Amino acid sequence: MNQLFTPIRLGRCTLSNRLVMAPMTRSRAQVDGTPGELAAEYYAQRASIGLIVAEGVQPSDDGQGYLTTPGIYTDAHVAGWRKTTSAVHDKGGHLFIQLMHAGRMSHPDNTPHHRQGVAPSAIAPGSEIFTATGMQPIPVPRALSTAEVRQTVADFRLAARRAMEAGADGVEIHGANAYLIQQFFAPSANTRTDAYGGSIENRARFAIEVASAIAEEIGADRTAIRLSPGTAMWGIDEGAEGPALYRYLVAELGKLGLAYLHIMHLGNEPLLAEIRQSWKQTLIVNRPGRPREQIGSDVASGLADLEAYGQTVLANPDFVARLKSDAALNDADSSTFFGGTAQGYTDYPALSQAG
Ligand SMILES: Cc1cc2nc3c(=O)[nH]c(=O)nc-3n(C[C@H](O)[C@H](O)[C@H](O)COP(=O)(O)O)c2cc1C
C-alpha cells in the first residue's frame, strides 16, 4: 500500500499520492446550475487526495439529466466553480471537472428548457428517473441530427474552455455509465445510419471527436476520459462486439496523448489487462465496492497507476490520513447522496474531529 502514498506526475500536475476521488453527482447546485454554497468546502475538505474528479457537470442545457446538477457553460457557473478550484488549490490539491452529457438519461422536468431529451436514436432506456415529483418513466428521446452531433462536440469543447477559465486542472470526459457517449457505443441505443452509427469505428467516432476537440482546445495533457466497458443497465447492451469497440477506442484515444484514462471496472479482467498493455499513458482504475484489504492492490500489481474511490472518499474527507494510520473508516449514508444540505455532505468527521 505504501506505493499509493508516493507522488506521481499527471498531465501538468504533480499529485501527492496515487489516490483519486471518483466523480460523484451530489445534486446540490443552484437551480441555474451554479455550484451550491457548500461545494467549495466539500471539495476542499477532500484536497489531501491526489486528484479530485468533481461530479458530472453538464456542458449545455441539453446535457442535464438530473435535478440541480452543476453546469459549466455560463459566467455564473464559471464564477461558482472558481471558488471550488481556489479552495482545493489553497490546500495543495488538484481537481479535474467531469463533463457529463446525460443524453437520454434525462427528463423534461429536470432541465432548464424542459425539452425532450436528446440521444443517438429515438429509443427510451426503459427505466425511470428521479424528478421533483418523484420517480417518472424516462420518455423517448429525440434523435440528434448529424449537425446537432457536431454541435454537441462543440458544446463539450466550449465547456472545457470554461472549465479552464474556472481554474480546473483539467477535464474528464464522462464516457461511462450509460450516458450520452456510451449511448453512442451501444447498438441497443444507437441505430443511426450516418457516420456516428453502425460499425465500431462509427459508434466510437463521437467519443473520439469530443476528446480530440477538447485536447485541441485546452491541451491533451489537461484532457482525460472515463469509460466503463460492459455497462449493462438503463438499456445499454454493447453486444458481442463490445470488447472490440473498446480495443479500437482505446487505441485511437491513445494517439491523442491524454492526461489519463479512467476505467470504472465492471469485471472483464482480460479486457482490463489488454487496455493496460495498449494504453501508454496514465491509467486510473475504479473497482466498485472494493474491500478495504484490497486497497492498493492494482497499483502494487502494476495494473493501474492510480486507484479511484467513490463512496469511501465521500464519507471520509481525510481518506488518505486514515489509510496511512490504518484508522477506521466512516460509512457512507446513501440517503443523503443526492440533494439536501450539509448533512451527509460537509459534516462527515475527519479523524481529528472524531470523538
Ligand atoms: C452518489 C454517487 C454519485 C455518482 N455520480 C457519478 C458521476 O457523476 N459520474 C461518474 O462517472 N460516476 C458517478 N458515480 C460512480 C462513482 O464514480 C464510482 O464509480 C462508484 O461509486 C463505484 O466506486 P466506489 O465503490 O468506490 O464508490 C457516482 C456514485 C455515487 C455513489
Pocket of ligand 1 (CB under 6 A): 22-25, 55-56, 98, 100, 174, 176-177, 226, 264, 286, 288-289, 309-312, 337
- Does residue 166 register a pLDDT over 80? yes
Name 118's bridge partners.
Answer: 142
What is the 145 CA–ligand 1 centroid distance (Å)?
30
Convert the pLDDT of each residue in 74-90 to its tens digit.
999 999 999 999 999 99
pLDDT score of 354: 56
Q: Choose the residue to mutate in 19, 20, 21, 24 for probing ligand 1, maximizing ligand atoms within 8 Å of C-beta.
A: 24
pTM of the full structure: 0.98
* Domain regions of the chain by residue span: 2-353
Burial 25-54 (b: 16+ CB within 10 A, else e): bbbbbeeebbbbebbbbbbbbbbbbbbbbb
Average pLDDT over residues 299-303: 97
Q: Choose the residue to mutate in 25, 99, 338 for probing ligand 1, maximizing ligand atoms within 8 Å of C-beta.
A: 25
- Does residue 298 register a pLDDT over 60? yes
Burial 215-227 (b: 16+ CB within 10 A, else e): bebbbbbbbbbbb
Q: What's the 3-state SS for the chain? A: CHHHHCCEEECCEEECCCEEECCCCCCCCCCCCCCCCCHHHHHHHCCCCCEEEEEEEECCHHHCCCCCCCECCCHHHHHHHHHHHHHHHHCCCCEEEEECCCCCCCCHHHCCCCCCCEECCCCCCCCEEEECCEEEECCCCEECCHHHHHHHHHHHHHHHHHHHHCCCCEEEEEECCCCHHHHHHCCCCCCCCCCCCCCHHHHHHHHHHHHHHHHHHHCHHHEEEEECCCCCCCCCCCCCCHHHHHHHHHHHHHCCCCCEEEEECCCCHHHHHHHHHHCCCEEEEECCCCCHHHCCHHHHHCCCCEEEECHHHHHCCCHHHHHHCCCCCCCCCHHHCCCCCCCCCCCCCCHHHCC
Backbone conformation region of residue 135, classed left if phi is above 0, alpha if psi is from -120 to 50, else beta: beta
Q: How confident is the model at residue 352 (pLDDT cuts 50, 70, 90)?
A: confident
Active-site residue list? 179
Convert the pLDDT of each residue in 86-119 to its tens digit.
999 999 999 999 999 999 999 999 999 999 999 9
Backbone angles phi, psi at 340, to 5 degrees: 95, -160
Q: 2-353 is classed in which CATH architecture?
A: Alpha-Beta Barrel (3.20)
Mean pLDDT of the chain: 97
Q: How confident is the model at residue 237 (pLDDT cuts 50, 70, 90)?
A: very high
Give the span between the Cα atoms of 203 and 155, in whole angstroms.
19
